[in-house]
Structure 1
Amino acid sequence: MSAAAPASALFDLKSAAWTLTALRLQSADVAQLAAALDARFADSPGLFDGEGVAIDLTALREADVALDFSALLPQLRRHGMLPVAAMGGSPAQMAAARAAGLAEAPDAPAAARTEPARPVQKQVVRAAPIEVVREVEVIREVEVVREVPAEPVSVPPMVIDKPLRSGQRVYAKGGDLIVLAVVSFGAEVIADGNIHVYAPLRGRAIAGARGDVNARIYCTCLEPQLVSVAGIYRTTETPLAADVLGKPALVRLEGEKIIVEALGA
């Protein structure tokens, strides 16, 4: 009889990061939420396409209302979302989320967008083996050391010169993203800084993924499923104006509103 292979040869434990969309609930009524989801995403059935989401319960925390996760999660999956975590809820709400198989993500910093840079601090986290960081980062590691730089570090832009097909995702961490080929329907481009697409943009573009409200999206042919800046997004359910649809355009954030402007106007 052959000896069993040692466990260390069968798997490795490594840190990894993913981009997640936060779905903030304003109501605990699952029937109303299901109707609202249908109304909002009826015209864009492939928008999420298995994309991971974190359920944000911040707006429901004070009322401490019970949420039926067993009824809610199938409604989210029906629209292509993949619920993986919950955040911001009361102790009872978070306990219900864990019982439903969701990971617990830490609450978002209250002043994430406006707080000035602070001196470098290091914090060693030894608690849970799974940590989900607000706006998108999921880090799996037993021990995590976080550093907050006092000054922003310059990161060279990431350049993509090949077409991105449906299901492909590119993330430029800490900097800008430049795409020289088509971003197809169902593909996704993400950057912590600006996004430049010198070809048709038909998929999803997410700039300022870590909360940079000054990030922008530049495109020579704007035909997107979704555009987002610092967590504020606009989908195809809001038609683009004729002067920007399929033409060179700029996407930026003004307050809490996405602005789309023609380039060269």
Structure 2
Amino acid sequence: MSTAVDYEQAGELKIGQVGIANLRVRTLDVARLVEEMQGRVQRAPKLFSRAAVVLDFGGLAQTPDLTTARALIDGLRGAGVLPVALAYGTSETERLAEQLDLPLLSKFRAQYERADGDAPTAPPAAPPAPAAEAASRPGPAAPAAAASPGLIQSNPVRSGQQVYADNRDLTVLTSVGAGAEVIADGSVHIYGPLRGRALAGAQGNEKARIFCREFHAELVAIAGHYKVLEDIPKDLRGKAVQAWLEDGQLNIAALD
């Protein structure tokens, strides 16, 4: 008698967009980094307490040694966050991740290659055709550019949900609830109350903006620059606002 084989997986693995904070270390001062993180957790515990954090050593001239890296990880855990990985960087970073028994997140690979390598050069322009030839030869008709409306979310984004617009804008026609998250590589437009988190320019686009009709956001961020509700003037709460970057500073102002 044959026995039936159960091919159903015990666990289903999916790779998707996750909200993980990236701590880019600019000064390797463990005590100062821990103190700064404690301040963030105290100001916005709902956002940062036990938050997953990726350590990014790409801003340093030299990768930390194992003892210093472990001290930093222990200090950050004591401050209330959970370091879960290192950001992709150099071969030294890869070895350090192995020693710490932490994964590398390769999503930062392209950013490092743009920062450390030469900027890609544009292909050489084709030589101009002689005037007589160019005049007699009709040029090809330029294709009409199809304007993309971006991703449109018509239903409310509820607590615990996340909506991500990959390489485009995101428009939410209703509300974003507390504990919900909306992310776009372009700009974010919200035509109802924003009580959760809104992140624009997720891949580093500093020209992206956030527009909101009724502002109660837990957090807003553009290209990694963020502000939490506690950092925002109270007179903007409940108002229609826009957020944008200027000279590396995140600005929020009421819409006229």
- TM-score of the two chains, using structure 1 as the length reference: 0.70
User: Using the alignment, how far apart are the partners of 1:199 and 1:191 within structure 2?
Assistant: 17
Aligned residue number for residue 196 of structure 2: 203
1:214 to 185, 207, 227: 207
Aligned-pair CA distance for 1:90: 6.4
Provide structure 2 residue ranges, at least 5 long, that are not aligned to the other structure. 124-144
Q: Against the structure 1 CA distance between its residues 88 and 12, is the aligned structure 2 distance closer, same or farther, given a 3 Å change threshold? A: same
Q: Contact 2:17 / 2:164 at 8 angstroms: preserved in 1?
A: no
Name the structure, 1 or 2, with higher relative contact order (CA <8 Å, separation 6+).
1
Aligned-pair CA distance for 1:164: 2.1
Q: Against the structure 1 CA distance between its residues 64 and 85, is the aligned structure 2 distance closer, same or farther, given a 3 Å change threshold? A: closer
Q: Where do 1:122-133 residues align within 5 Å?
A: none
Aligned-pair CA distance for 1:233: 1.4
Q: Where do 1:14-33 residues align within 5 Å?
A: 16-33=16-33
Asked if 1:258 corresponds to 2:256, the answer is no
Q: Against the structure 1 CA distance between its residues 118 and 186, is the aligned structure 2 distance closer, same or farther, given a 3 Å change threshold? A: farther
User: Using the alignment, how far apart are the partners of 1:240 and 1:118 within structure 2?
Assistant: 45
Q: Where do 1:131-210 residues align within 5 Å?
A: 155-210=148-203
Aligned residue number for residue 140 of structure 2: none
Aligned-pair CA distance for 1:185: 1.9
Q: Against the structure 1 CA distance between its residues 15 and 83, is the aligned structure 2 distance closer, same or farther, given a 3 Å change threshold? A: closer
User: Using the alignment, how far apart are the partners of 2:169 and 2:121 within structure 1?
Assistant: 20
Runs of 4+ in structure 1 deviating by more than 6 angstroms, as ranges, are: 11-14
Larger-gyration structure (1/2): 2
Q: Contact 2:52 / 2:81 at 8 angstroms: preserved in 1?
A: no
Provide structure 1 residue ranges, at least 5 long, that are not aligned to the other structure. 120-151
Aligned-pair CA distance for 1:200: 1.2
Q: Against the structure 1 CA distance between its residues 97 and 74, is the aligned structure 2 distance closer, same or farther, given a 3 Å change threshold? A: farther
Q: Tell me the number of residue pairs that the alignment of Structure 1 and Structure 2 aligns.
A: 226
Letter in 2 for 1:231: G
More strand as a share of residues: 1
Aligned residue number for residue 113 of structure 2: 109
Q: RMSD between aligned alpha carbons?
A: 3.3
User: Using the alignment, how far apart are the partners of 2:213 and 2:192 within structure 1?
Assistant: 6
Q: Against the structure 1 CA distance between its residues 156 and 20, is the aligned structure 2 distance closer, same or farther, given a 3 Å change threshold? A: farther
More helix as a share of residues: 2
Deviates more, 1:179-188 or 1:68-77: 68-77
1:68 aligned counterpart, secondary structure: helix
Aligned residue number for residue 36 of structure 2: 36
Q: Deviations over 1:201-237 (max 9, x none)?
A: 1111111111211111000111111111122212234
1:60 aligned counterpart, secondary structure: coil
Aligned-pair CA distance for 1:71: 5.7
Q: Against the structure 1 CA distance between its residues 225 and 195, is the aligned structure 2 distance closer, same or farther, given a 3 Å change threshold? A: same
Q: Deviations over 1:7-39 (max 9, x none)?
A: xx5378876444543211234444432222111
Aligned residue number for residue 83 of structure 1: 84
Aligned-pair CA distance for 1:263: 0.7
Q: Deviations over 1:137-193 (max 9, x none)?
A: xxxxxxxxxxxxxxx985432222222222211101121111122212221100111
1:250 aligned counterpart, secondary structure: strand
